[in-house]
Amino acid sequence: MRIAIIGHGKMGKGIEALAHQKGYEIKAILGRKDKIADLDPNEIDIAFEFTIPGIVSQNLLDLSKLGIATVCGTTAWGERAPEVREAFKASGGKLFFSTNFSVGMYLTQIAIRDLAKQLNRVGGYRPNLIECHHTEKLDMPSGTALRIGEIILEEFPQLTKIAEANKMPGHTEIGVLCFREDDTPGTHTVIFRSDLDDISVTHAAHNRKSFFAGAMSAAEFLHKQPSGIYRMEDLINDLS
């Protein structure tokens, strides 16, 4: 594969190293001052977009115009997700996006959904979220925490939304505690609390290798797919 890396932070550098190991050709590495419009779509099979919330939406729109298949892991652009999806569909492009590229985290989310469904059926439990990331992570709560919250909301219809980070949740809100510590790849915990007991589910990344590997697997998967919008469940189904 011929690769472009947009954003050369921790994820970008990890993908770069893994691409070299796999023998893929890196055609471009773009920083904040570089222009996506300068990329040659005829020379690039896959672009990785791992930048920051403030610029990701425009980057994706620019990539859709060029028709470059894109793997995106930048979070906090949900409000413009319909616009981005429509742009890739209109151009006949390919987009794979996820808030977290760890296969273990995806499987944890499946477990959380099943548990939430059963606990809501039993009754008496109240869910809360805790997440911890490195100090350079800008969005709070994390995109993964928000996704977990969305899953719980789907199974707890009596709850209406996710509370603001580190704010006392309202009666129909899911509370979220957020911490930022040095060199913490990402830890997410869901606690279902009742008067009788607590039930918790935690996913703790030991390092970023699972994120790099997951993003590369997504790129390899996307490379062989027809045009469309893809998520982690598509990759997992393909692996099985």
What element of type H or E holds 187? Answer: strand 187-193
User: Residue 32: its pLDDT value, please?
Assistant: 82
Sign of the four-CA dihedral 235, 217, 64, 98: positive
**Whether residue 180 is found in the same domain as residue 169:** yes
User: Residue 76: its pLDDT value, please?
Assistant: 84
Query: For the purposes of burial, counting CB atoms within 10 Å of the CB of 10, is it exposed (0-12), middle (13-18) or buried (19 or more)?
Result: middle
pTM over 0.85: yes
**Whether residue 22 is found in the same domain as residue 114:** no
Which CATH number goes with the domain that contains 114? 3.30.360.10
**Whether residue 218 is found in the same domain as residue 194:** no
Tens of pLDDT, residues 76-88: 898 899 999 999 9
196: its two tokens: 């009788």
Tens of pLDDT, residues 162-194: 999 999 999 999 999 999 999 899 999 999 999
Q: Which residues of the chain have pLDDT under 50?
A: none
Residues annotated as catalytic are 133, 137
Domain span at residue 132 reads 103-204
162 DSSP β-pair partners: 174
d(CA 60, CA 150): 23
Which CATH number goes with the domain that contains 48? 3.40.50.720
Our count of domains for the chain comes to 2
Going by DSSP bridges, is the β-strand pair 2-6/94-97 parallel, antiparallel, or unpaired?
Answer: unpaired
**Whether residue 9 is found in the same domain as residue 82:** yes
Of 45, 46, 44, 72, nearest to 58 by C-alpha is: 72
